[in-house]
C-alpha cells in the first residue's frame, strides 16, 4: 500500500549553556559579526548617509518693474536711465528717457508667470553710435515646495560690439544659482532685500561693480542665461535704439539637504540589504558549530512521546 505524508512539523532542538561559557561568548561574537560588518560595509561603500537630494520646481517669479539701463557710445560717453528716481537725479547730465513696454505671460495657465516680454525704445541722437548695452531687471523670486525661499533677484543683460547697433534682441532664461544646498524645511528670507538701494543718494551705490559685488556674495541668486543674443546694425536716421526680448522662468533642479527621517530611511534600506546576507551566513556557522558540538553545549530534544502518533 502506498504511503502518503499527512502532516509534518519541524523538530525544535535547543542548545543550552551557562552564562559564563564558551558557547555564550561564541554567540556574543556571532551577534557582533552579524550586526557591525554590514554597517561598516554600507557606510564605506559611499552613499549611506544622504547629504544632498534634489527635486524640481517652477519658481513663482514676478517682475518688480525695476530697471537700470546703461548704453555705451563709440566715443566713450554713455547715456543711462532707471526706474529709481534718486539715480536719475544723480545722472541728470547723462539721463535719457526710453519708451518701456513690459508684459508677463502665463503660458500654461497654472497661475504662475512663465515669461517676461520687454521692449525699450531709447531715443538716442543720430550722432550717437551705441556699441554696448548693460541692463538690470529686478524680480521677486519664490520657492515653496520644501523650504520657503523668498528673495529679490535680478537678470543682468549685456552685449558689446565694435559695430554701432540699431537693435539688440535677448531671449533667455532666469536661472537659479546655488552655492549651498537649501534646507528641507523652514523659511529663508535672508536675501529678500533690495538689490539696488533706491533711497541712496550716493552715486557709488548705483554702480554696476558695487551692485554685483553685493549680489555675488549671496549663496542663492539668479542669472540671465542667453545663448543666442542678436546685435543688429544699420540704425536709420531719427530711429531709436531698440532693446527687446524675453526672460523665461523655467522649472529648476534644486539641491537641498534631506531631513532626519529621509536620511534614516535611505540608510536603513542599504544597511538591511547587507544585513540579510550576514544573517544567512552566520546562521550556517551556528548550525555547523552546535550540531557538530564544536563547542560543547547541553542538547535538549523533544521527548519521544511527543514525536509518536497516538
Residue 304 has pLDDT above 70, yes or no: no
Residue 88 has pLDDT above 90, yes or no: yes
Mean pLDDT for 28-51 is 85
Mean pLDDT for 21-26 is 87
Residue 14 has pLDDT above 90, yes or no: no
pLDDT of residue 44: 82
pLDDT of residue 13: 85
Query: How is residue 24 written as a grid cell?
Result: 555564550
Mean pLDDT for 122-148 is 94
Mean pLDDT for 247-273 is 89
How far apart, in whole angstroms, are the C-alpha atoms of residue 9 and residue 225?
Answer: 72
Span of 1-10, 81-90, 241-250 with lowest mean pLDDT: 1-10
pLDDT of residue 71: 97
Could you tell me the pLDDT band of residue 1, with boundaries at 50, 70 and 90?
A: low
CB atoms under 10 Å from CB of 221, counted, come to 19
Q: What is the domain partition of the chain in residue ranges?
A: 14-49+259-307, 54-256
Mean pLDDT for 142-156 is 93
pLDDT of residue 310: 41
Mean pLDDT for 194-200 is 93
Amino acid at each position: 500500500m502506498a504511503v502518503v505524508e499527512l502532516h509534518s512539523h519541524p523538530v525544535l532542538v535547543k542548545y543550552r549553556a551557562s552564562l559564563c561559557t564558551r558557547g555564550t561568548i561564541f554567540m556574543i561574537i556571532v551577534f557582533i559579526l552579524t550586526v557591525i560588518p554590514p554597517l561598516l560595509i554600507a557606510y564605506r561603500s559611499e552613499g549611506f548617509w544622504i547629504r544632498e537630494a534634489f527635486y524640481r520646481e517652477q519658481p513663482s517669479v514676478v517682475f518688480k518693474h525695476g530697471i537700470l539701463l546703461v548704453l555705451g557710445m563709440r566715443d566713450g560717453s554713455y547715456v543711462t536711465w532707471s526706474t529709481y528716481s534718486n539715480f536719475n537725479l544723480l545722472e541728470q547730465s547723462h539721463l535719457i528717457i526710453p519708451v518701456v513696454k513690459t508684459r508677463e505671460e502665463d503660458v500654461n495657465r497654472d497661475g504662475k508667470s512663465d515669461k517676461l516680454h520687454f521692449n525699450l525704445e531709447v531715443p538716442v541722437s543720430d550722432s550717437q553710435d551705441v556699441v554696448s548695452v548693460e541692463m538690470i531687471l529686478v524680480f521677486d523670486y519664490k520657492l515653496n515646495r520644501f523650504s520657503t525661499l523668498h528673495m529679490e533677484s535680478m537678470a543682468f543683460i549685456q552685449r558689446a560690439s565694435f559695430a554701432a547697433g540699431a537693435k539688440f534682441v535677448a531671449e533667455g532664461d532666469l536661472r537659479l544659482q546655488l552655492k549651498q544646498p537649501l534646507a528641507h524645511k523652514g523659511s529663508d528670507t535672508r536675501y529678500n532685500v533690495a538689490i539696488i538701494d533706491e533711497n541712496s543718494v550716493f552715486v557709488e551705490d548705483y554702480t554696476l561693480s558695487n551692485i554685483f559685488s553685493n549680489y555675488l556674495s549671496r549663496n542663492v541668486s539668479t542669472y540671465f542665461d542667453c545663448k543666442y543674443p542678436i546685435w543688429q546694425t544699420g540704425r536709420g536716421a531719427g530711429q531709436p535704439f531698440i532693446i527687446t526680448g524675453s526672460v523665461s522662468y523655467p522649472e529648476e533642479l534644486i539641491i537641498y539637504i534631506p531631513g532626519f527621517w529621509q536620511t534614516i530611511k535611505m540608510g536603513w534600506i542599504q544597511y538591511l540589504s547587507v544585513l540579510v546576507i550576514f544573517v544567512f551566513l552566520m546562521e550556517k556557522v551556528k548550525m555547523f558549530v552546535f550540531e557538530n558540538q564544536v563547542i560543547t553545549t547541553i542538547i535538549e530534544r523533544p521527548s519521544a512521546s511527543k514525536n509518536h502518533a497516538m
